[in-house]
């Protein structure tokens, strides 16, 4: 029993618990000492001290002090046993979907606070505020997600396992523009585009399960399929709402089935026009797979070395892209 209680106190540090319940401390003298208003009684001058190293509190106002369990007992006015049960419940990991939603919302807020991220979006031709909001685009400046998610009872290990933080506890998506990937309205993955020197693309290490980064296949009789989320963003911005993105050129059987789920649908493949022909080859192979699934596939040819994103950044308009669609050749 005593051992369990020790473990409980270690897993929920007193200072962390207090902050999660809106206690606003400031440092008092030594590195590990904090002071703030006492949550246990009304006061205007801070007299509630926490020693983070010892994991103990003491209030000079009401003269009460002790450990986490003692605090929660007083704070919630619960008997000892119920207090322990309550704290054990706090340890139950939060659902992953909730943590992902909170992450997306947090990064969305950061986007507007960091001009380097807005500048990057602008450079990639994404400037419509309504679209940025609709796609849920955010920015991870780095280093502060973990503290934010502490309010939702997430543990270090859980965030590490999901892939939101690294072993140092820092944001895994640091200095990346974030796009949430949704399925049935729920965030199931994140795509992060580096704006710095790091490898450009990052996803959470969750199985994609064959989902499209944006579920817009819906009931469209014609679908434009692109490689990247920036391609999708500029096309949506230009009015091509029937664009979807598989993040890459490889489709899983589930994604193929999704494209084939409506008879008579046409799919316009608008991949990169790389110098090494990789995009064109991938498009060709995919078109053949679609044809065998009874989907009418067309390959969109863009000017040399362009993808839909760079094409729009270079000044193309909706009419130019419409012309490319009309010029697409069936396979």
Position among 5, 8, 28, 40 found at the interface with Zn ion (CB under 5 A): 40
Q: Residue 41 or residue 281: which is nearer to Zn ion going by CB? A: 41
Q: Which residues touch 17 (CB under 8 Å, ≥6 apart)?
A: 68, 71, 72, 90
Q: In angstroms, what is the minimal distance from the CB of 62 to Zn ion? A: 3
Q: Residue 47 or residue 262: which is nearer to Zn ion going by CB? A: 47
Q: In angstroms, what is the minimal distance from the CB of 151 to Zn ion? A: 23
Cα–Cα distance, 190 to 203 (Å, whole number): 6
Q: Residue 289: which of 314, 237, 234, 252 has the closest Cα?
A: 252
Cα–Cα distance, 229 to 235 (Å, whole number): 10
Q: In angstroms, what is the minimal distance from the CB of 68 to Zn ion? A: 16
Size of the site for Zn ion (CB under 5 A): 6
Q: How many helices (H) and strands (E) does the chain have?
A: 14, 14
Q: In angstroms, what is the minimal distance from the CB of 73 to Zn ion? A: 14
Position among 41, 113, 147, 241 found at the interface with Zn ion (CB under 5 A): 41
Q: In angstroms, what is the minimal distance from the CB of 87 to Zn ion? A: 21
Interacting stretch for Zn ion, rule CB under 5 A, among 33-41, 106-114, 206-214, 310-318?
Answer: 33-41
In degrees rounded to 5, what are phi and psi of residue 57? -125, 160
Q: Residue 237: which of 323, 177, 308, 181 has the closest Cα?
A: 308
CA angle centred on 19, ends 16 and 20, rounded to 5°: 85
Q: Residue 38 or residue 267: which is nearer to Zn ion going by CB? A: 38
List binders of Zn ion among 52-111 (CB under 5 A).
59, 61-62
Q: How far is CA 99 from CA 2, 95, 144, in A?
A: 32, 7, 14
Q: In angstroms, what is the minimal distance from the CB of 185 to Zn ion? A: 45
Interacting stretch for Zn ion, rule CB under 5 A, among 51-59, 188-196, 263-271, 277-285?
Answer: 51-59
Position among 15, 18, 37, 38 found at the interface with Zn ion (CB under 5 A): 38
Q: In angstroms, what is the minimal distance from the CB of 40 to Zn ion? A: 5
Three-state SS at 101: helix
Q: Residue 47 or residue 158: which is nearer to Zn ion going by CB? A: 47
Three-state SS at 150: helix
Helices (H), the chain: 2-11, 14-20, 68-76, 80-91, 96-111, 115-123, 129-135, 145-149, 156-162, 229-237, 253-259, 278-292, 308-313, 318-326
Interacting stretch for Zn ion, rule CB under 5 A, among 24-32, 35-43, 158-166, 211-219?
Answer: 35-43
Q: In angstroms, what is the minimal distance from the CB of 184 to Zn ion? A: 48
State whether the Cα torsion 33-35-39-43 is positive or negative. positive
CB 301 within 8 A of CB 273: yes
316 binds Zn ion (CB under 5 A): no
Q: Residue 38 or residue 137: which is nearer to Zn ion going by CB? A: 38
Q: In angstroms, what is the minimal distance from the CB of 190 to Zn ion? A: 42
Inter-axis angle of helices 80-91 and 2-11, to 10 degrees? 50
Q: Residue 59 or residue 269: which is nearer to Zn ion going by CB? A: 59
Interacting stretch for Zn ion, rule CB under 5 A, among 34-42, 118-126, 239-247, 248-256?
Answer: 34-42
Q: Residue 50 or residue 256: which is nearer to Zn ion going by CB? A: 50
Contacts to Zn ion by CB under 5 A = 38, 40-41, 59, 61-62
């Amino acid at each position: 029993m005593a051992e369990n209680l020790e473990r409980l106190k270690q897993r929920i540090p007193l200072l962390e618990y207090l902050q999660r319940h809106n206690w606003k401390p400031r440092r008092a003298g030594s590195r590990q000492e904090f002071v703030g208003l006492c949550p246990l009684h009304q006061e205007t001058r801070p007299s509630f001290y926490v020693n983070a190293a010892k994991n103990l509190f003491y209030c000079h106002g009401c003269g009460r002090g002790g450990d986490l369990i003692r605090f929660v007992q007083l704070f919630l006015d619960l008997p000892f046993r119920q207090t322990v049960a309550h704290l054990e419940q706090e340890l139950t990991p939060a659902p992953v979907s909730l943590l992902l939603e909170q992450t997306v919302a947090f990064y969305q807020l950061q986007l507007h606070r960091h001009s380097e991220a807005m500048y990057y979006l602008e450079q990639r031709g994404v400037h419509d505020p309504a679209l940025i909001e609709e796609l849920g685009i955010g920015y991870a400046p780095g280093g502060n997600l973990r503290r934010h998610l502490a309010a939702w009872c997430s543990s270090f290990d859980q965030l590490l396992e999901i892939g939101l933080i690294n072993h140092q506890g820092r944001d895994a998506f640091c200095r990346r523009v974030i796009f949430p990937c949704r399925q049935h309205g729920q965030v199931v993955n994140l795509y992060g585009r580096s704006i710095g020197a790091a490898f450009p693309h990052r996803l959470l290490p969750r199985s994609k399960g064959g989902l499209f980064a944006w579920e817009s296949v819906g009931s469209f009789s014609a679908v434009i399929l692109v490689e990247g989320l920036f391609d999708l963003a500029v096309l949506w911005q230009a009015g091509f709402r029937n664009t979807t993105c598989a993040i890459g050129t490889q489709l899983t059987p589930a994604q193929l089935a999704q494209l084939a789920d409506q008879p008579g649908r046409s799919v316009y493949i608008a991949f990169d026009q790389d110098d090494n022909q990789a995009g064109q080859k991938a498009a060709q192979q995919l078109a053949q797979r679609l044809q065998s699934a009874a989907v009418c596939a067309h390959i969109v040819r863009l000017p040399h070395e362009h993808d839909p994103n760079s094409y729009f950044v270079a000044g193309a308009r909706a009419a130019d892209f419409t012309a490319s669609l009309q010029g697409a050749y069936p396979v």
